[in-house]
Structure 1
Amino acid sequence: MSMIAEILISALLVIGGLFGVIGSYGLVKLPDQMTRLHAPTKAATLGVGGVLLASLAWFAFFGEHPSWHELLITLFLFVTAPITGLMIAKSHMHLSWHADELPDCGEDQNWATYGASAERSLVGNGTENDSTDRDMRE
């Protein structure tokens, strides 16, 4: 049983390390902010998650008792890292793109944060401050 546990723990550590290295490489080599955002989000979620699961497995098999702290940290990480990446991407969209520059979503669809009220608050209501607002964002 201990050899199977060691193989499982080693595999989780190697997987976590590979995701960390690939995420770091992607952060350096990808061309723009939106694509660079994807790499560290995956690295944080899967890389650190793999290491934490390996730690949880080690304490479960070889420690006196399983450490539930690693499980709670892993669950928290799996929930918060993708949401954080989504919020950073949305803020980048709002600061960098005009609503007219976004790709088409379909006939009855609209971008979730670029609805009619959000568009008015970003672009303005057609007054003379409209160009000033755009200049400040650029």
Structure 2
Amino acid sequence: MTDILFLTEILVAALLVIGAVFTLIGSYGLLKLDQPMKRLHAPTKASTLGVGSLLLASMIHGFTSGEASLHELLVMAFLFATAPISGNFIAKVHLHRQRGGKELPAPPSEERWATYSEQ
């Protein structure tokens, strides 16, 4: 019985590390990428996988400790249903504004207004 608990603890730890790495990559991409269409992919893909891994680790830990809860499952379902749809809507608005004759306003002349640069 202790071998199964040890393996689940290793699985939970691995999922926590994977979730933290994906969330960090998504946050860094949101800061570093400069164009809106590039910036869109960082939070919708990497952060969704990161938060999904963290919630899966919480679910596994809850089931093995006897304190099972469906809150994590509901949050994960909501996240996986809304993040791709909202990313798609943001991309469509960007494309329609460019094609409709209304050009997007230029970003401020300051170089570091919304991106991380190593200067």
Percent identity (aligned)? 53
What RMSD over aligned residues (CA atoms) do the two structures have, in Å? 1.7
Verify the 8 A CA contact 1:44 1:81 in the aligned structure 2.
no
Structure 2 residue runs of 5 or longer lacking an equivalent are 106-119
Distance in 2 (alpha carbons) for counterparts of 1:66 and 1:137: 48
Note the 1:30-109 alignment, pairs <5 A: 30-62=33-65, 64-95=66-97, 97-98=98-99
TM-score, normalised relative to structure 2: 0.78
Where do 5+ consecutive residues of structure 1 fail to align?
99-121, 123-133
With the length of structure 1 as denominator, give the TM-score of the two structures: 0.68
Higher relative contact order (CA 8 A, sep 6+): 2
1:4 counterpart residue number = 7
Show structure 1 runs of 4+ deviating over 3 A. 134-138
CA contact (8 A) 2:27 2:47 kept: no
Deviation at 1:40, TM superposition (A): 0.8
Q: Which residue does 1:130 correspond to in 2?
A: none
